[in-house]
Amino acid sequence: MPSRRTVITPFERALAALLALALACLSARADEAPQKLPTIELRAGLHRIEAEVARTEAQRAIGLMHRTAMPPNAGMLFVFDRTGVQCFWMKNTLLPLTIAFLADDGTIVNLADMEPRALDSHCSAGPVRLALEMNAGWFAKRGLKAGDRLGGAAFAPR
């Protein structure tokens, strides 16, 4: 009997990849090791920030999940491919965080405090391409608010 060759379409390949990513996320355990990403130095006035950079969809999806502690001046910078309203939630994130939604030049558009393991969405007040998560209260303790500007190589000059 002749063998049959199965042809897989690009759509089916994409669907299979999406299902594999979904299964990986569903099977993630709370005791998994957190991801470790390349870092970049940012500045908030005199304050130095050591931010891991999440550039890919997979890196952004994991974010700061499964971490039980984070150094005081550490955070994670999320870089999106396109400008838009960006929303975050805290499923599997064990630390209380404050997120700063940032314009391309580093200006803080808005801040949001996020509780561990909460499923509610925290969204940017306008279209942005960047977001920075820090330990809860980090921005407030330094008097930083919407309209203030962060510095560093990640931000386009005005």
pTM for the predicted model, two decimal places: 0.79
User: Is 16 contained in some domain?
Assistant: no
Domain count for the chain: 1
**What is the secondary structure of 44-75 as a DSSP string?**
ETTEEEEEEEE-SHHHHHHTTTT-S---TTEE
Structure token pair of residue 46 = 């005199």
**CA–CA dist 120, 90 (Å, integer):** 8
User: Is 26 contained in some domain?
Assistant: no
Give the pLDDT score at 62. 95
What is the domain range of residue 56?
39-152
User: Is 17 contained in some domain?
Assistant: no
Structure token pair of residue 48 = 């130095």
- The domain spanning residue 60 has which CATH number? 2.60.120.1140
**CA–CA dist 142, 138 (Å, integer):** 7
Where do we find the tokens 């929303």?
Answer: 87
**CA nearest neighbour of 108 among 70, 82, 134, 69:** 134
pLDDT digits (tens, 9 = 90+) for 97-118: 999 999 999 999 999 999 999 9
User: Is 24 contained in some domain?
Assistant: no
Q: Give bridge partners of residue 49 from the DSSP assignment.
A: 42
User: Is 90 contained in some domain?
Assistant: yes
Give the pLDDT score at 156. 78
Q: What are the residue ranges in the chain where pLDDT is below 70?
A: 1-31, 158
User: Is 73 contained in some domain?
Assistant: yes
Helix (H) or strand (E) holding 14: helix 10-26
